[in-house]
Amino acid sequence: MRKKILITGATRGIGWALAKKAAVTDLDVFLQGRNPQLLAERKKFLEKDNIEIHTICFDIRDRSAAQKELEKISDIDYIVNNAGIVADNWWGEMKTKQWDDVLATNLTGAFNITKVLTPKLNKNGQIIFLTSQSGLLGNAGQSNYSAAKAGLVGLTYTLAEELQRFSIRVNAVSPGAVTEMTAPVLKKLADKYGSLPSEWHLGSADDVADFIIDEILPTKRTGTVFAVNGNKKGYWSKPQYNSL
C-alpha cells in the first residue's frame, strides 16, 4: 500500500517542487492550497501522466475549515507543513496586520494542520515543518517571519519528545533562500556584505524537494532541524548553555 503525504502550500515554490517530486515517487499525494483555480491547474498538470492527485482547498488560518476539510483524509504517513508568507518591515514600521498575518499563517496555520492530523498518523509516520535560518539566527527586517519560524523550531523539538512513544518522528527543514518569496532577502544581504555564509547559500526549490523525499522521509532521526542550501546539507545543533 502506498504511503500518504500531505503538502501544504503546494501550488508554489518549495511546495510545488515537492508535489512534483512526490507524484513520481510512488506516494499517495494530497495537495493543500487556498486558490481553487491554481490548485485545479496543478492537479491537472500532475495527472497528465495518469497519476491520481488529491486536492484540498482551504485557508490554513481557518481552524474550522481545517477541521472540516481534513476529515477527507482517513489516515496519513507524512505531513509537510510548508505553507508560509512574508510581510517584511523594520521593527519600527511593523504593522500589527503584518505581524498577525505572518504568525497566523506560518505558525498557527501549521498548528491547525498538525493538531487535526496527528491522531490520524500511521505508525512510523512523520511531521515535517519548513522553517528558516531566520528562525534560527534572526534577520533584520523580518521580526514577524523570524518569530514564526523560531516557533516551528520549538514545536519540532517539543513534539519530537511527546510523540516518540507513538513511533512518530518530527523534524524540520531549514532551506536557504530558494523561491521568489525568499530569495530577494538574501540577495540584499549578499549585495551589502559581498558574500554569504555557507548556511545561507542560495539553492533551488528542487534541491529542497529532493532532500525531503530522498533523505528526510526515510530518516530514523527525530527532533532534528535539517539544513539544505544548494548542494550543502547538514543539520543544526540545539542551543547549549554556556556560563558567563
* Residue 66 near residue 116, CB atoms below 8 Å: yes
Pick from 176, 113, 169: nearest CA to 139:
176
CB burial of residue 147 (10 Å; 0-12, 13-18, 19+): middle
- Can 145 be counted among the known catalytic residues? yes
CA gap 213, 22 in Å, rounded: 7
CA gap 4, 35 in Å, rounded: 22
Identity of the residue numbered 231: N
Pick from 4, 3, 54, 64: nearest CA to 33:
54
CA gap 160, 211 in Å, rounded: 20
CA gap 229, 112 in Å, rounded: 28
- Of 78, 145, 193, 241, the active-site residue reads 145
* Residue 105 near residue 60, CB atoms below 8 Å: yes
Chain position carrying cell 512510523: 124
Supply the residues annotated as catalytic.
Answer: 145
